[in-house]
Amino acid sequence: MNDKFDSFSDLLRGALGSRLTISQEMADFFTQDVVFEFPYAPEGLPRRLDGMAALADHLMRLEPMLKLSEFTLHAVHPSGDTVILEFSCEGSGISTGLPYDQNYISVVTLRDGRISRYRDYWNPLVALSALGGAQAAAMAYAGEKANG
């Protein structure tokens, strides 16, 4: 497969196709009561987000931390309302310039054409390296600056 995408929203459109409600806005891809889970998240980063407001806040916190440049979809495994995605991305930590080249397996559950649950399995060591370590990652996520 190995289809390339410029953004996470384009990757979701490509991976989920007609299962996903057509929309230009990524927020419309999710139910209001969406649950995002990050089972491998390190200390200082969330392991669960409940609802659209929490997801929106999370995405705003990540934006100044990571620059993601290319997503590659490797495989899609549909099973009823659940789809398992295998993909990777290239990017870097904004404050460090260090690479964030991550592999993911995501388990996506859909309800009425929208994502109602998203379980994201990724390597926390890649994230911590790109962000300058566990303390720097937790501080950046909390909106604090290191050394000041």
Write down the residue that tokens 């889970």 correspond to. 37
Mean pLDDT of 18-42: 93
Would you state the pLDDT for residue 148?
44
List, for residues 129-146, the tens digit of each pLDDT value. 999 999 999 999 998 865
List, for residues 41-94, the tens digit of each pLDDT value. 998 999 999 999 999 999 999 999 999 999 999 999 999 999 999 999 999 999
Would you state the pLDDT for residue 146?
56
Instruction: Please report, for residues 45, 47, 65, 138, 142, the alpha-carbon distance to residue 135 in angstroms, rounded to integers and kept in the order given.
Output: 10, 16, 13, 5, 11
Would you state the pLDDT for residue 1?
81
CA distance 21 to 113: 5
Strand partners, 68: 91
Angle value at C-alpha 56, between 62 and 48, nearest 5 degrees: 80
Residue 16 CB: number of other CB atoms within 10 A?
19
Mean pLDDT of 107-131: 97
Would you state the pLDDT for residue 107?
98
CA distance 43 to 7: 26
Q: What tokens appear for 132 in the block?
A: 């300058």
Q: What pTM was computed for the model?
A: 0.92
Helix 124-131 to helix 134-142 angle (10° resolution) is 80
Q: Is the pLDDT of residue 116 over 50?
A: yes
Would you state the pLDDT for residue 147?
52
Dihedral of the CA atoms 131, 4, 119, 135 (nearest 10)?
Answer: 0
Would you state the pLDDT for residue 26?
85
How much is the mean pLDDT over the chain?
Answer: 94
